[in-house]
């Protein structure tokens, strides 16, 4: 998931779900402690763009879909999937066939939610005519890739309804994170009759849609800055949903949002600029660690020096990341330990980022950096080098280029020029190889290391710097194929791949992004996901 200022929706998987520290440690409470008014007023920094399950891509749409709809499984606390529309499921021994047994549940208009709703939705998303940006998440479903290339009919997708309440999914190969994928909004069901009834107007307003989740969208004009969710009494687990209403209020100006929070008009607000520093000692201050890493790609195709591993290592070692996150960002972001973010995935109690950490991958050692840089210049026949560092024109982008420029300028013979561009322009130039060094961001689409690591295989279109490693490619291939159904071997493959990427400094990771917030102490039970739709309000409630 490429990250911009609006932040794309990072879709799914074994989320490291975190119960809000400021919102209590339990979602249960006695009725006497609950407020009579179960209304939550929630801040968003951008308006709701879409409620179309097949085409929504941003995180605001994702969290709204996550709370108004439900897939075969839901993501919950403790990094676990739990029953959603599917009350249970089984997996074949070879890991290629999943059978989901559905409970009897209903859409908000009273229609039953059936297996066919999932078949229709998945087929609609992978249909090339739909132009879904997240259709690639279905890549492991049988025939999905051929369908997306218009080489096979949509009806051949590896999902079928076995009666009204059983869904059978066939994969091309074992995919151990598949249960987490189906908890993602892109895999939710859609009511065919409703889609056809509204046509092009489908999901463009609150009224042109139906919902099968804990809440239903009751106010949204399609262009309004504010929107409202109300409890969905047709939801199968409605008796355990405590909130009656959630008012989402778009506030792009951080200071105005903070004023509204202080005036009691908002129950939570995001912080930026100097605000995190001013409020970090507040009891209501919470930092949300996201599964997203910001890093620098170097264009190895454009210049021989950047293809030199010593030069890449020198540029990485010259950056004092601790100083950057603690003195410049000051928003709870932390130094990246590698490319794959910490807290994303673990095996036998060990976090992937810990298992794959290398000695120099994100270390600071200016003396060593200068030595390696001089050697790289000599090996490539240069006495000096001019480099343009490109990034977004956001505050964070400008902070990053200014800081890195100051760090890199300490290397002998290196002159750095900064170029901060609008996101779309920066992204286009990255994709077309029109850069020397570029600051990029990636947020996990699902909580498995492969969501990060697949980007830097030799043939991946997101590998803008064109770094190549045969051993890296082999390890990723083994993880995806030979060892796909062997958890231990697959873990080792991915750890080895990350170490190869870092030891050769294929990219230069800088920091893992965080979102600081203030949340009122009477808000309880909200669940935050570092990746994907971010928020689950189904167990939230307000105390007196």
Task: Kindly write down the DSSP assignment for every residue of 52-98, as one continuous string.
Answer: -TTT--BHHHHHHHHHH---SEEE-GGG-EEESSEEEEEE-TTS-EE
Q: Given this model, what pLDDT does residue 445 score?
A: 75
Give residue 15's pLDDT.
Answer: 28
Confidence check: pLDDT of 78 > 60: no
Residue with the larger pLDDT of the pair 144 and 431: 144
Instruction: At 523, list the tokens.
Output: 């808000």
- In this prediction, residue 477 has a pLDDT band, given cuts at 50, 70 and 90, of very high
- How many residues does the structure list for the chain? 544
Residue ranges, CATH 3.90.76.10, the chain: 18-249+520-542
Residue 328 CB neighbour total at 10 angstroms: 15
Residue from 388, 17, 352 nearest 180 by CA:
17
Residue 77: pLDDT over 80: no
For residue 5, pLDDT beyond 60: no
> Which residues, including other chains, have CB under 8 Å from residue 32's CB and lie 6 or more apart?
none
353/256 Cα distance (integer angstroms): 37
User: 169-180, pLDDT tens digit by residue?
Assistant: 999 999 988 998
Query: How do strand 166-170 and strand 215-219 relate by DSSP bridges?
Result: unpaired
* Residue carrying structure tokens 């929107």: 227
Distance CA 524, CA 284 (A): 12
Which range, of 58-67, 152-161, 498-507, 516-525, averages the lowest pLDDT? Answer: 58-67
What pLDDT sits at residue 79? 56
Domain with CATH 3.10.105.10 in the chain: 291-514
Helix (H, G, I), strand (E, B) or coil at 32: coil
Higher pLDDT residue, 7 or 100? 100
How far is the C-alpha of 51 from the C-alpha of 483, rounded, in Å? Answer: 37
What proportion of the chain, given as a percentage, has pLDDT over 90? 82
Q: What is the mean pLDDT of residues 327-353?
A: 94
Calculate the alpha carbon distances from 315 to 358, 366, 400 in Å.
16, 9, 14
Average pLDDT of 366-391?
97
Residue-level pLDDT at 167: 98
Please, what is the average pLDDT of the chain? 92
Q: What is the pLDDT of residue 395?
A: 81
Angle at 538 between CA 532 and CA 540, to 5 degrees: 110
Least confident piece of the model among 252-256, 336-340, 406-410, 468-472? 252-256
Distance CA 111, CA 413 (A): 70
SS3 category, 376:
helix
pLDDT of 19 > 80? The answer is no
CATH number belonging to the domain at 291-514, selected among 3.40.50.720, 3.40.50.300, 3.10.105.10, 3.40.50.2300: 3.10.105.10
pLDDT of residue 12: 30
Count the alpha carbons within 13 Å of 493 in the hemisphere toward its beta carbon: 23
Residue 424 has pLDDT above 90, yes or no: no
CATH classification code of 18-249+520-542:
3.90.76.10
CA distance 50 to 32: 38
Contact between residue 214 and residue 67 where contact means Cβ atoms under 8 Å apart: yes
Q: CB under 8 Å to 540, separation ≥6 — which residues?
A: 23, 27, 40, 242, 243, 523, 524, 525, 526
Q: How confident is the model at residue 273 (pLDDT cuts 50, 70, 90)?
A: confident
Asked if 65 contacts 55 with a C-beta cutoff of 8 angstroms, the reply is: no
- Tell me, letter by letter, the H, E, C secondary structure of 442-507: EECCECCCHHHHHHHCCCCCCCCCCCCCHHHHHHHHHHHCCCCCCHHHHHHHHHHHHHHHHHCCCC
Q: Provide the pLDDT for residue 13.
A: 30
Predicted local distance difference test score (pLDDT) of residue 26: 41
Q: What number of H helices and E strands is found in the chain?
A: 17, 26
Cα 182–Cα 183–Cα 186 angle in degrees, nearest 5: 70
Q: Which residues contact 243 (CB under 8 A, 6 or more apart)?
A: 38, 39, 40, 215, 231, 537, 540, 541, 542
Alpha-carbon distances, residue 43 vs 5, 19, 143 (angstroms)? 16, 18, 41
State residue 452's pLDDT score: 95
Residue 509 near residue 361, CB atoms below 8 Å: yes
Output DSSP code: residue 214.
S
Tokens of 254: 């951080």
User: Is 374 within 8 Å of 412 (Cβ atoms)?
Assistant: yes
* Model confidence, pTM: 0.81
Residue 442 pairs in a beta bridge with 2, 293
Distance from C-alpha of 142 to C-alpha of 169, rounded to nearest angstrom: 8
DSSP string across 304-353: HHHHSHHHHHHHHHT--HHHIIIIII-SS-EE-SSSSPTTS-EETTEEHH
Give the contacts of 270 (CB within 8 A, at least 6 positions apart): 43, 45, 254, 257, 515, 516, 517
Strands 385-392 and 414-421, by their bridges, are parallel
Please write the tens of the pLDDT for every residue from 56-74: 988 899 999 999 999 999 9
Element (H, E) at 167: strand 166-170
**Model pLDDT for residues 187-221, shown as the tens digit of each residue:** 999 999 999 999 999 999 999 999 999 999 999 99
Residue 209 backbone zone (phi > 0: left; psi -120 to 50: alpha; other: beta) = beta
Q: Which helix (H) or strand (E) holds 407?
A: helix 395-408
Taken in order 285, 14, 346, 478, the sign of the CA dihedral is: negative
């Amino acid at each position: 998931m490429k990250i911009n200022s609006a932040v794309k929706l990072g879709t799914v998987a074994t989320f490291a779900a975190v119960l809000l520290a400021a919102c209590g440690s339990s979602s249960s409470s006695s009725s006497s402690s609950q407020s009579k008014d179960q209304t939550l007023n929630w801040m968003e920094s951008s308006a709701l763009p879409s409620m179309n399950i097949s085409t929504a891509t941003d995180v605001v749409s994702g969290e709204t879909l996550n709370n108004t709809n439900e897939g075969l499984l839901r993501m919950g606390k403790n990094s676990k999937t739990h029953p959603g529309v599917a009350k249970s499921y089984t997996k074949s021994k070879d890991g290629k066939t999943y059978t989901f047994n559905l409970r009897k549940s209903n859409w908000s208009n009273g229609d039953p939610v059936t297996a066919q709703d999932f078949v229709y939705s998945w087929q609609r998303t992978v249909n090339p005519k739909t132009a879904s940006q997240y259709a690639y998440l279905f890549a492991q479903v049988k025939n999905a890739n051929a369908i997306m290339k218009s080489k096979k009919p949509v009806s051949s997708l590896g999902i079928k309804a076995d009666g009204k309440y059983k869904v059978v999914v066939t994969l091309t190969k074992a995919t151990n994170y598949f249960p987490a994928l189906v908890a993602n909004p892109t895999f939710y069901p859609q009511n065919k009759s409703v889609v056809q009834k509204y046509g092009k107007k489908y999901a463009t307003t609150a009224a042109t849609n139906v919902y099968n989740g804990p809440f239903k969208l009751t106010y949204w004009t399609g262009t309004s800055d504010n929107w409202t969710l109300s409890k969905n009494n047709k939801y199968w687990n409605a008796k355990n949903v405590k909130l009656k209403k959630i008012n989402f209020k778009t506030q792009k100006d951080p200071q105005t949002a903070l004023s509204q929070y202080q005036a009691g008009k908002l129950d939570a607000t995001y912080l930026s600029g100097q605000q995190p520093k001013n409020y970090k000692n507040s009891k209501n201050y919470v930092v949300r660690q996201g599964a997203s890493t910001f890093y620098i790609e170097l264009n190895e195709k454009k210049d021989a020096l950047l293809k030199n591993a010593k030069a890449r290592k020198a540029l990485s070692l010259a950056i004092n990341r601790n100083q950057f996150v603690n003195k410049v960002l000051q928003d709870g972001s932390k130094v990246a330990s590698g490319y794959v973010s910490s807290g994303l995935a673990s095996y036998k109690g060990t976090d992937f980022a810990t298992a794959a950490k290398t000695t120099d991958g994100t270390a600071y050692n200016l003396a060593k950096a200068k030595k390696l840089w001089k050697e790289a210049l000599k090996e490539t026949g240069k006495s000096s080098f001019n480099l343009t560092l490109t990034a977004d024109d956001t505050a964070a982008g400008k902070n990053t280029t200014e800081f890195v420029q100051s760090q890199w300028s300490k290397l002998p013979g290196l002159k750095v020029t900064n170029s901060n561009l609008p996101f779309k322009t920066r992204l286009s130039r990255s994709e077309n190889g029109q850069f020397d060094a570029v600051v990029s961001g990636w947020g996990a689409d699902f909580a498995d290391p492969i969501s990060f690591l697949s980007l830097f295989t030799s043939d991946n279109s997101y590998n803008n710097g064109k770094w190549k490693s045969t051993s890296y490619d082999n390890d990723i291939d083994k993880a995806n194929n030979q060892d796909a159904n062997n958890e231990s071997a697959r873990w080792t493959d991915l750890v080895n791949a990350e170490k190869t990427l870092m030891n050769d400094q294929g990219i230069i990771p800088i920091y893992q992004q965080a979102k600081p917030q203030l949340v009122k102490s009477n808000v309880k039970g909200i669940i935050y996901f570092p990746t994907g739709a971010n928020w689950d309000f189904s167990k939230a409630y307000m105390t007196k």
